[in-house]
Amino acid sequence: MSEKKFYGLIGEKLGHSFSKEIHESLADYKYSLCPLTRQEFAPFMERADFAAINVTIPYKEAVIPYLAEVDPRAAAIGAVNTIVNRGGRLCGYNTDFDGVKYLLARHGIELAGRRVLVLGTGGTSKTVCAVAEALGAAAVAVVSRSGGAGRLDYAQAAAALDTQVIINTTPNGMYPHNGDAPLLDPAAFPALEAVVDVVYNPLQTNIVLAAREQGKKACGGLEMLVAQAKYAAELFTGRHMDDAVIDDIYHRLRRDKLNIALIGMPGSGKSTVGRKLAGLLGREFVDCDKVLVERAGRQISDIFREDGEDAFRRLESEVLLDVAGLGGRVIATGGGIIKNPANIRMLRQNSLLIFLDRAPERQALDAGRPLSQSTGDNMRLYAERYPIYTACADYRLDNNGSAGSAAAALAEYWQTV
């Protein structure tokens, strides 16, 4: 990289990061992801071979000794996420502070007078605590696995039943660990009003989904990520940008990262329509049943016959965890995937669920589908599953015509999402 020309992000693990896309949408510099091991970190900072960088886990506190100047707010927080190289002088800032404020305001989440639990103890936790104090929270408790030093452990946090807002700053549930259970169950807090998770990949972690199932306000961290990047880009370039750009980039990025997951009966056309839709949208197409057969080395009918339906459903869920963990795909799911509520939650993390509804008498029959080998089987299953399909779908499409017309209709609908 050319001296003093490097713009980018440093952190330990950056494979999940969306920052390159965001920054290159904000300004005309090239932005790079620069993963650093703990051993590589100090030499990188000593060379200071960059124009400006962002900093993420686990270096938001570790960078401070290398800085010639630290913005007063960042110094008070004790965490830096933005560094600008001004003629060899490294100047540190904390744009996460304004990113958190933007996220809270965007979702109407009030901290004034509220009792807040902040999960995690790193640099982002410090920033969130500073925001909560600035916004007038009644009480802020920091939660760590070991507790101590004025912190709660998770058992103590679970007993704080008067908690009104939970904010997760840990990597719990972050890709590729999408299946991790929440560190705290939102349903256990009778006074809870809202849950915020700074994790943005997946778009909705399990704690966000659990809170929404309880009817609470809840949001992931993508808007915070875009907002803090906008404020960092202003420092990088010295140019003011209107806050409207945050919402524009957020909506574009969200749609790019969302999967389109087709649910519906066996024989309803999910694979055929999905493949055509992926072609229209220029997306990768993944057929969960095909992946399952390849992984098992056996046909679905053989798995049912030799191991039983329970074994098949376990394998189906394992495949879904892998397939739906990444975004930007068109996914054809198995007909019975919705029988397990955990599968629905897994899909919701990164996907818009489309119910491809085809009348039972028009559904294709296939001897390889153990539960739907006749029209009578299809009618029975359809009656059983229809309420589940409609309850979990974000959109229902009548697929009693051609696959091409269904794909075209979905492509048109997608432009409105």
Residues with catalytic annotation? Answer: 60
For 35, phi and psi rounded to 5 degrees?
-65, 135
Q: How far apart are CA 55 and CA 16, in angstroms?
A: 14
Hey, is 240 helix, strand or coil? coil
CB atoms within 10 A of CB 210: 20
Counted residue by residue, the chain has a size of 417
Q: What DSSP line would sit under 70-124, residue for residue?
A: E-HHHHHHT---EEEEETTEEEEE--HHHHHHHHHHHTT---TT-EEEEE--SHH
Terminal CA-to-CA distance of the chain, rounded, Å?
Answer: 39
Structure tokens at 133: 């104090």
Q: Which residues contact 402 (CB under 8 A, 6 or more apart)?
A: none
Give me the half-sphere count of Cα atoms (radius 13 Å) on the Cβ side of residue 363: 27
Residue 110 buriedness (CB in 10 A; 0-12 / 13-18 / 19+):
middle
Q: How far apart are CA 204 and CA 210, in angstroms?
A: 10
CB atoms within 10 A of CB 155: 8
Closest CA to 130 of 57, 75, 65, 56: 75
Residue with tokens 């058992």: 155
Q: What DSSP line would sit under 164-232, residue for residue?
A: -EEEE-S-TT-TT-TTPPPSS-GGG-TT--EEEE---SSSS-HHHHHHHHTT-EEE-SHHHHHHHHHHH
Please give the DSSP secondary-structure letter assigned to residue 250: H
Q: Which residues contact 315 (CB under 8 A, 6 or more apart)?
A: 292, 295, 296, 303
